[in-house]
A and B are shown apart, each in its own frame.
Chain A
């Protein structure tokens, strides 16, 4: 089932020259290790960009959002089977 979350999260990510890859994030006191980055897309927001990461672990799908202007991360939505 899809759930709209829209809450700030803490993320461990690797910033490359032209790449960004999230590895672990903490939400509501719990850590989630990202197994796969399935899709990345971006959209302009004001002067900056929003980068969306569609990621998953073994049981959940998450959509994370990175705001390039204030360098903040958000958990936008999640999907859990059942």
Chain B
């Protein structure tokens, strides 16, 4: 058997929008944008989470504010996001993928890598990809489709899946890799956005070929660790950012431990009430604490960020004498004290809570009270992970 690996990268096409068009036939063939909450016109504070193929033709993109998208496409329909629906489709899709590769690696809610080296048998990878596409289509209905890329590693498979979108299959092999790469722009590579492209241009790198042959020292100086990683990608080699997909999502290129953990939220309408803001701070503190616990981390700096309706903002932080317990109640108390000390001058548009100075949480608690609290949080996390996020939340998170 050949020692060349075969990877498939399955990328669901216009994922959230396709799910909505599958569910609602009156949206089919129309430009739609999936947003947080369009009921009552409040969507103008959120961003387009996904848009349909029809909307993309007008230049509408994910991450765009709805007012901007409406300027490009006045007939754009704003559709409420339905997380449960997308998670359900992903769960079922993963079951389909597992028939093709025993351990499908979910890279995000709409992307997965499948190693079919052992399972493809005598079939061509292209045929396997087509079979998988048909199965996805028949499982959910004609509107939910996927593009599949084939390559000898995850990176090349991911690049390949972008080439024949939507609903296509493309393979990058040793034979066509050079030709394919010569037709790609720097931004087509995973991890190169506007800022990185700008930095690369500053050191005279305009395309993938130049990136592949750039001196490592120059790249490291300009982009740090990421420079080396990008060079590997430009050479068609896999990089650490794709080898551990779950972690890659959270920490991108950083192999080092995270330095901060934060959550922020833009409100649907400006907040004039302190009690509402307290509820939000409490909710965000719970989210930060739960993330810290899931990664077995703790920290000793608590920060609060507030943005007012006129876009002026302030940030206050406090360094604690000792590491804090990764408990939402503890983080909330510290955050609230910071907020009360500062006071609110104007209606609030956005609020955020962060814990920094992160370390591994390994010291056991000495006192019975803390031990009890830790056990309680463990149970709470277990319930929330099996029955869904926010199944158990402190009452103070609810605006009364």
Binding site for B on A (CB under 8 A): 2-4, 36, 38-39, 41-46, 50, 52, 54, 56, 61, 63, 77, 79, 81
Enumerate chain A residues within 8 angstroms of B140, measured Cβ to Cβ.
39
A35 CB to nearest B CB, Å? 9
Are B38's CB and A2's CB within 8 A? Answer: yes
Instruction: Sample 16 A-B pairs with CB under 8 A, ordered by A number.
Output: A3-B39, A36-B25, A38-B24, A38-B141, A39-B141, A43-B87, A44-B386, A44-B387, A45-B387, A45-B388, A50-B84, A54-B22, A56-B24, A61-B27, A79-B24, A81-B26
Q: Is there an interface contact between A44 and B388, defined as CB atoms closer than 8 Å?
A: yes
A61 touches B388 (CB 8 A): no
CB of A18 to closest CB in B, whole Å: 15
Closest CB in chain A relative to B325 CB, distance in Å? 29
B residues less than 8 Å from A3 (CB atoms): 39
Are B88 and A42 closer than 8 Å at their CB atoms? yes
B88 lies within 8 A of A43 (CB): yes
B23 x A63 contact (CB < 8 A) = yes
0 or 1 for each of B347-380: is its CB under 8 Å from A? (1 = yes)? 0000000000000000000000000000000000
Q: Are B89 and A61 in contact (CB under 8 A)?
A: no
The one of B24, B26, B38, B388 that contacts A43, using a Cβ cutoff of 8 Å: B388
**If the complex has contacts A41-B84, A43-B84, A43-B87, are A61 and B387 also in contact, measured as CB distance less than 8 A?**
no
Measured CA separation A81–B80 after assembly (Å)? 15
Asked if A46 and B387 make an inter-chain contact with CB atoms under 8 angstroms apart, the answer reads: yes
- Closest chain-B Cβ to A10's Cβ sits at a distance in Å of 22
A38 CA / B85 CA spacing, docked (Å): 13
| Contact residues in A for B38 (Cβ distance below 8 Å) | 2
